[in-house]
């Protein structure tokens, strides 16, 4: 059963509980977060291949070791292809809070790094309770159907990203009738959970019939209790014939899992191209402009991922886009200290501005607040590009890019962060971080491509933000692209 509260009820219930206090009428603006480090996290490590875009690194994720906040790992596409995926995946590690980053290609993923697949995509990183790091990637070949395999791989690192295991196969397909895509990985780190240390691998299998017509895209999950070496059978969260995307799971202190995701409704043969979808598999489908407008729903499992039930609609029109740019999946995170869940997203059906909004749940995903607007100064000609959210000790950090001058060769993007000190009830003025990104020099994928997502992680006294940053190529370069992953470490 899907349930939502009206605004008037929401204010009474949550304020009375003291969980989301209203902001003071004359609240003092919070001071800017101190910037501890700011610089390049990773740049292209592998040689470009025919058809790839030289000097492009894009679509990063980042994770921090909660027991050692100076230790963090970031991962990103290395050498983007405009029709999907990358030559390889780059990983970067820091052991000094982002003062220095050491980066290199992930071994044994694609043929360019000693693996057996043509391309890789969608890197996601996470830490387990024992300090083990996990890296999840999607890999695929570009051979024509039906001989076009794809897989979801997971690697582990026992030493903060210095070394990585061989890839473990979480799921695979040998035919393009099932195309593995848009993975996300989380680890249960709650000492009270009966599944402490369990690794959950979510992904989206895109399905087609024998004639090649698109028939659905489900949210799927498997789990491992032995550091990704062996995996459970697949459980499904959504109906077979629905087009869904972008699992963003959160784990409660009791070990329950709440997954939030887009559901665009019953699938059609039109094959709409959503952010994060698999364009390399869509050759037989109609090519359409990227549009990630859709409703965000939440499903919950109380038995370790085996069974799921849809419990709420988080937001309507929970996706936005910047014209001419491919970007902008929503993000979700749980504050472990308060148990409050947060979903940050663009859009709400507001058209050309698509501000950043935040919805929250204090009861394990069953009821969600009406969205609070995070961004400020939204107007025609200003768009928000990508979003991420993390929370710690009742403070919520939402980061996003602000794009201006879109008609000037794509315009520029300034990464910003907005902070709420009252559990997401209101946000202060945005703080700009890192250098301006010039989209003219960014990768291309159905438009300028700063990535379908960016990365943010917080633990102790460290808040890490990673994002694609593009600028004019150096004089020594023959590429028309120049895109790196930039990282900023702040004191929360």
3-state helix, strand, coil in the chain (%, to 5): 5, 45, 50
The closest of 327, 343, 342, 315 to 454, measured between CA atoms, is 327
- R_g of the chain, CA atoms, integer Å: 21
Copy the structure tokens of residue 380: 């025609």
Confidence of residue 123 (pLDDT cuts 50, 70, 90): very high
What pLDDT sits at residue 350?
Answer: 58
> How far is the C-alpha of 294 from the C-alpha of 311, rounded, in Å?
17
Lowest mean pLDDT among 47-51, 184-188, 213-217, 411-415: 213-217
Percentage above 90 pLDDT, the chain:
74
Confidence of residue 293 (pLDDT cuts 50, 70, 90): low
What pLDDT sits at residue 271?
Answer: 39
> How far is the C-alpha of 414 from the C-alpha of 412, rounded, in Å?
7
Considering 287-301, 368-382, 418-432, the range whose residues carry the highest mean pLDDT is 418-432
Q: Compute the average pLDDT of residues 271-280.
A: 39
Tell me how many domains the chain contains.
Answer: 1
Span 40-91, pLDDT tens digits: 999 999 999 999 999 999 999 999 999 999 999 999 999 999 999 999 999 9
Cβ-contact 361, 332 below 8 angstroms: no
pLDDT above 50: residue 353:
yes
Confidence of residue 146 (pLDDT cuts 50, 70, 90): confident
pLDDT above 80: residue 191:
yes
Residue 36, judged by CB atoms within 10 A of its CB (0-12, 13-18, 19+), counts as: middle
What pLDDT sits at residue 147?
Answer: 79
* 35: in domain: no
* 401: in domain: yes
Look up the domain containing 434 and give its range.
7-21+58-490
Residue 71, judged by CB atoms within 10 A of its CB (0-12, 13-18, 19+), counts as: buried
* 218: in domain: yes
What pLDDT sits at residue 348?
Answer: 61
| Residues paired with residue 395 on neighbouring β-strands, in sequence order | 392
What pLDDT sits at residue 380?
Answer: 81
* 371: in domain: yes
pLDDT above 80: residue 456:
yes
* 372: in domain: yes
What pLDDT sits at residue 421?
Answer: 97
Instruction: Judge if the upstream peptide bond of residue 261 is cis by omega within 30 degrees of 0.
Output: no
Residue 16 DSSP class: H
Cβ-contact 485, 92 below 8 angstroms: yes
Span 96-105, pLDDT tens digits: 999 999 999 9
What pLDDT sits at residue 349?
Answer: 57
pLDDT above 70: residue 226:
yes
The closest of 194, 133, 183 to 160, measured between CA atoms, is 133
pLDDT above 50: residue 357:
yes
* 47: in domain: no
Query: Chain-wide mean pLDDT for the chain?
Result: 88
* 48: in domain: no
What is the CATH classification number for the domain harbouring 359?
2.120.10.10
Comparison of pLDDT for 290 and 458, the residue scoring more: 458
Q: Compute the average pLDDT of residues 186-198.
A: 97
pTM higher than 0.75, yes or no?
Answer: yes
pLDDT above 90: residue 484:
yes
* 73: in domain: yes
């Amino acid at each position: 059963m899907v349930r939502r509260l009206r605004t008037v009820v929401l204010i009474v219930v949550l304020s009375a509980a003291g969980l989301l206090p209203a902001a003071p009428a004359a609240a003092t603006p919070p001071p800017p977060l101190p910037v501890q480090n700011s610089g390049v996290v990773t740049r292209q490590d592998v040689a470009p291949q025919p058809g790839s875009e030289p000097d492009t690194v894009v679509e990063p994720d980042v994770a921090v070791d909660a027991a050692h906040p100076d230790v963090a790992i970031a991962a990103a596409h290395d050498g983007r292809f405009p029709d999907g995926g990358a030559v390889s995946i780059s990983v970067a590690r820091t052991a000094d809070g982002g003062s220095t980053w050491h980066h290199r290609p992930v071994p044994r993923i694609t043929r360019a790094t000693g693996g057996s697949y043509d391309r890789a995509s969608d890197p996601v990183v996470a830490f387990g309770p024992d300090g083990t790091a996990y890296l999840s990637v999607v890999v695929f070949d570009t051979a024509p159907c039906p001989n076009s395999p794809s897989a979801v791989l997971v690697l582990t690192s026992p030493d903060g990203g210095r070394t990585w295991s061989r890839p473990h196969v979480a799921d695979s397909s040998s035919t393009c009738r099932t195309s593995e895509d848009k993975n996300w990985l989380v680890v249960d780190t709650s000492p009270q959970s009966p599944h402490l240390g369990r690794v959950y691998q979510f992904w989206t299998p895109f399905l087609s019939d024998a004639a090649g017509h698109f028939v659905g895209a489900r949210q799927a999950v498997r789990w491992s209790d032995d550091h990704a070496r062996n995996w459970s059978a697949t459980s499904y969260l959504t109906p077979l014939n629905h087009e869904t995307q972008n699992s963003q799971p959160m784990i409660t202190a009791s070990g329950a899992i709440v997954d939030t995701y887009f559901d665009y409704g019953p699938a059609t043969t039109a094959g709409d191209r959503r952010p994060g979808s698999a364009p390399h598999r869509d050759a037989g489908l109609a090519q359409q402009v990227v549009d990630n407008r859709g409703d965000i729903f939440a499903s919950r499992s109380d038995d370790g991922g085996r069974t799921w039930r849809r419990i709420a609609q988080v937001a309507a029109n929970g996706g936005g886009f910047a014209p001419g740019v491919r970007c902008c999946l929503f993000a979700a995170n749980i504050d472990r200290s308060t148990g409050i869940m947060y979903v940050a997203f663009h859009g709400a059906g507001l058209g050309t501005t698509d501000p950043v909004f935040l919805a929250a749940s204090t009861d394990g995903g069953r009821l969600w607040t009406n969205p609070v607007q995070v961004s400020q100064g939204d107007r025609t000609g200003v768009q928000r590009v990508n979003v991420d959210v993390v929370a710690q000790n009742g403070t919520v950090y939402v980061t996003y890019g602000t794009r201006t001058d879109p008609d000037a060769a794509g315009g520029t993007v300034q990464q910003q962060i907005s902070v709420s000190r009252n559990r997401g009830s209101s946000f202060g003025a945005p703080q700009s971080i890192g250098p301006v990104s010039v989209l003219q020099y960014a990768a291309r994928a159905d438009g300028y491509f700063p990535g379908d997502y960016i990365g943010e992680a917080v633990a102790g006294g460290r808040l890490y933000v990673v994002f694609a940053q593009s600028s004019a190529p150096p004089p020594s370069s023959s590429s028309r692209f120049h895109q790196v992953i930039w990282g900023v470490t702040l004191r929360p």
